[in-house]
A and B are shown apart, each in its own frame.
Chain A
Amino acid sequence: MTAWKTFVRSKIFWPVMALVALVAANTIKTTHFLNIRVQDGHLFGALIDILRNSSPLLLVALGMTLVIATRGIDLSVGAVVAISGAVACSFIASSPNPGAVVTVLTAVAIAVLLSLVLGAWNGFLVSVVGIQPIIATLVLMTAGRGIAMLITGGQITTINSPAYKQIGSGFWLGVPLAVLIAGGVFAIVATLTRRTALGMLIESVGINPLASRLAGVQSRTIIWTVYALAGVFAGIAGLMISSNVMAADANNAGLFIELDAILAVVIGGTSLAGGKFSLSGTLVGVLVIQTLTLTVTILGIPPAVTPLFKAIVVIAVCLMQSPVVRTKLGSRRRVPVMAPVPAEVVS
């Protein structure tokens, strides 16, 4: 089978096609959509904007991919985003020297550490106490916004710190810093999962946790790790988001980001049931979602219609990706009316 055929049949085909279609539509409408210009030694352009705006979502979605692969889910990432921004901004606001790099670095360190703890808390509930992921993370999702409000005292905490602003809007070597951070994390996770055996063990735990346990896989450690990572990545995303507005809004920061992240993961081909996962698929999913948002503006669709437009595209991608449609369109092979049923010992 040629590489093209493999690509066409894979789960990532339709998302990539959707992305191409969106970019094409944009380019037709604004001919300079694909232009990237250099200004003051920095790269600018619509594509750059997409990449930069995708960075927080990509971070959250990466963590979400790993969590979903272990048959879990993390609904609390939005709350962690809010808490992370709240902690960092509160620290900077209350420090004597808000503009200093040291202050900013300390704030970042505290925020990331706290996010790690929150992620580990989720991991603890799931892997040690054995609570279902959706409920375990729902707890933090519900209480977390309240905690963020507590930290900010109910106010939107604004800060004035050029050093902090760099995270969201700064550049390094011409490329937006946010893109570098997200790209770096992507590279680290990709290396970690595919160069070591972590990827296979995560998949094993997600596909068959009982068998993995008997084979000696340290399921508990692996599950704990992925939730902690999801927390850390969400924390970094929270720093980016609050850095962009130079404020911490406990109510709205990261609102619905978990839903976007889960959608990105699913669009990218990872199944919610756990098991095999695809980081590049998640990347495509994130880009589709971000490009969609931009496309709507470029195509001149009135803002009130934007969410509807987005929803229709999302539904279309979901339908395209559904197993039923994929077999009707893509494969030459037949799938049984009902797949073979694994033996269930009802106990």
Chain B
Amino acid sequence: MTTPTPVVEMRGISIEFPGVKALQEVDFTLHPGEIHALMGENGAGKSTLIKALTGVYAIDSGRIVIDGVERMFADPAASQAAGISTVYQEVNVCGNLTVAENIMLGREPRWGGAIDWRATRSAAAMHLAALNLDIDPRSSLSAHSLAIQQLVAICRAMVVDARVLILDEPTSSLDAGEVQQLFTVMRGLRDDGVAILFVSHFLEQVYEVSDRITVLRNGQLLGEYATSELPRLDLVSKMIGKSLAVLEELEEAPKRSVAALASTVPYLQAIGLGRRGAVEAFDLDLYAGEVVGIAGLLGSGRTELARLLSGADRADVGQVRMGDTLVHLRTPRAALARKIAYSSEDRKSEGVVGDLTVRENIMLGLQAERGWTRRIPAKRADEIVRQYVAALDIRPPNPDMPARNLSGGNQQKVLLARWLATAPKLLVLDEPTRGIDVGTKAEIQRLVAELAQKGMSVVFISSELEEVLRVSHRIAVMRDHQKIAEIVNDDDVGIDDIVELIASGGRDS
């Protein structure tokens, strides 16, 4: 069987930004009627390659050939006109408009020069139905969750008869049901001859749905493979460039023994703590030297719980006790004064201060604590920063670089350094490994275990249940804004048990 002529051919693509070579001589081919996964660790160049194809970035050298014709796209509109539809990782929709308006924006059917709203709404409803999405076209988009907004973005991408559909990390905010929904639609489109480019960090998803895989590392092409012919460990080792043995060692991080907990008195007790509209009243005891994982589906209230524990949000009911004292965690500052640090799940808008240097980002927490009058002496700041850059392997190791130039994984490490510098006794980590490559993930997980061993109390939230299981001593399970169960993470506890708990709602079967 001959392979059909490729619909997209990218040859020798190079793009350079200030201080970093994002892509070096990368080749990429996409055939019609295939789902092609693009993989690589953070900073590998996946997003850059896509933006080069869709005209968002100008390429420094190389050629792009669409259907045998060499093309140069000046802007996203040009690539859309050529039949390439994209749904970016940053959900590009307009919250101030309705669902129907978002779907049909720029393509509203007209009647005599004016927009025909009735036709627009019914067209939108039709497209939503084609994807089996039960969303009211008249509703305002901002009233929906991020997951729904993303599905609307995908629906919009399908409105034009695209020959190429690019999905850049579409599943990071979708729950299992929505992912399957998406995959069903993707397979349908593939069978219709559409070429789908699928970027994802989730290994299982890639193996489930893709036909071919292209791997990038550090802006260079490592290779293109048929999914069925590439074992998982091969793929992962190619991506992180470490040997298999080391990888297995990282995967087998020792589970701490439950009996080795230092103290029997909880460091912090949440009693009937809750916030209206965010999370129902819950009890949680946190001990020094213990990692408590929070597991649950998207939207189950994990982040809301974390924010209550760390003062980012104010509780409506309940109380928090530390030792014998009743404490009021009204603001993050109050929590930090009590040695509680919180690493938000949204590192871009709530974590990294982009234009400040790496040094300033790391020292921010410590400096805020001291107040603006007492500046931390430059020498001491340098020392602290140097320590953390080395300990966490922050790359590039240049403390004067603006933090926004770092890759996602390194930005996360900078944030961790910031919180660790404040010497917290309780560290609340919300999705610290989201959007990060396997190697750095493992580093962070190991770090968490070390911190607990040294006596820190850690709360660890992740959508990846394997990760939660690997790292936690105890696991609190959440569903629908409620803490429904708490289990001790023994050797015989597995993903199935947690999934079962969520499914059954915590009631004993």
| Residues on A facing B (Cβ under 8 Å) | 195-198, 200-201, 203-204, 207-208, 210-218, 222, 275-276, 333-338, 340-347
Q: Tell me the smallest distance from the CB of A113 to a CB of chain B, in Å.
A: 23
Q: A207-B353, A215-B336 are in contact. List 19 more A-B contacts (CB 8 A).
A: A197-B370, A201-B368, A201-B372, A203-B356, A208-B350, A210-B350, A211-B349, A211-B350, A212-B353, A212-B368, A214-B351, A216-B336, A276-B355, A333-B18, A336-B15, A337-B56, A337-B75, A343-B91, A347-B142
The winner among A196, A211, A335, A347 for most chain B CB atoms within 10 A is A211
A-B contact count (CB 8 A): 130
A contact residues around B51 at 8 Å (CB): 338
Q: Describe A's contact surface by its main secondary structure.
A: loop
B354 is an interface residue with CB less than 8 A from chain A: yes
The winner among A195, A218, A340 for most chain B CB atoms within 10 A is A340
User: Binary interface profile of B, 52-66, with partner A (CB < 8 Å = 1, else 0)?
Assistant: 000111101000000
Cβ of A343 and Cβ of B348 under 8 Å apart? yes
Partner pick for B349 among A222, A334, A338, A343, CB 8 A cutoff = A343
B contact residues around A211 at 8 Å (CB): 344, 349-353
The winner among A216, A340, A341, A346 for most chain B CB atoms within 10 A is A216
Partner pick for A346 among B93, B355, B374, B418, CB 8 A cutoff = B93
Q: Once the chains are docked, how many angstroms separate the CA of A346 from the CA of B376?
A: 37
Q: List 15 A-B contacts (CB under 8 A).
A: A195-B375, A197-B373, A197-B374, A198-B373, A203-B356, A204-B353, A208-B353, A211-B344, A213-B331, A215-B364, A216-B337, A216-B368, A276-B355, A333-B17, A334-B17
A contact residues around B58 at 8 Å (CB): 336-337
User: Binary interface profile of B, 315-339, with partner A (CB < 8 Å = 1, else 0)?
Assistant: 0000000000000000111001100
A contact residues around B374 at 8 Å (CB): 196-197
Q: Tell me the smallest distance from the CB of A272 to a CB of chain B, in Å.
A: 14
Interface residues of B in 339-377 (CB under 8 A from A): 342, 344, 346, 348-356, 360, 364-365, 367-376
Cβ of B146 and Cβ of A204 under 8 Å apart? no
Partner pick for B342 among A198, A200, A214, A346, CB 8 A cutoff = A214
User: Binary interface profile of B, 140-156, with partner A (CB < 8 Å = 1, else 0)?
Assistant: 01100010010000000
Q: Tell me the smallest distance from the CB of B348 to a CB of chain A, in Å.
A: 5
Given contacts A198-B372, A341-B90, A347-B95, contact A208 B349 (CB under 8 A): yes
Q: Once the chains are docked, how many angstroms separate the CA of A334 from the CA of B95?
A: 33
Cβ of B56 and Cβ of A338 under 8 Å apart? yes
B contact residues around A212 at 8 Å (CB): 353, 364, 368
Q: Once the chains are docked, how many angstroms separate the CA of A38 from the CA of B344?
A: 63
Q: Tell me the smallest distance from the CB of A193 to a CB of chain B, in Å.
A: 9
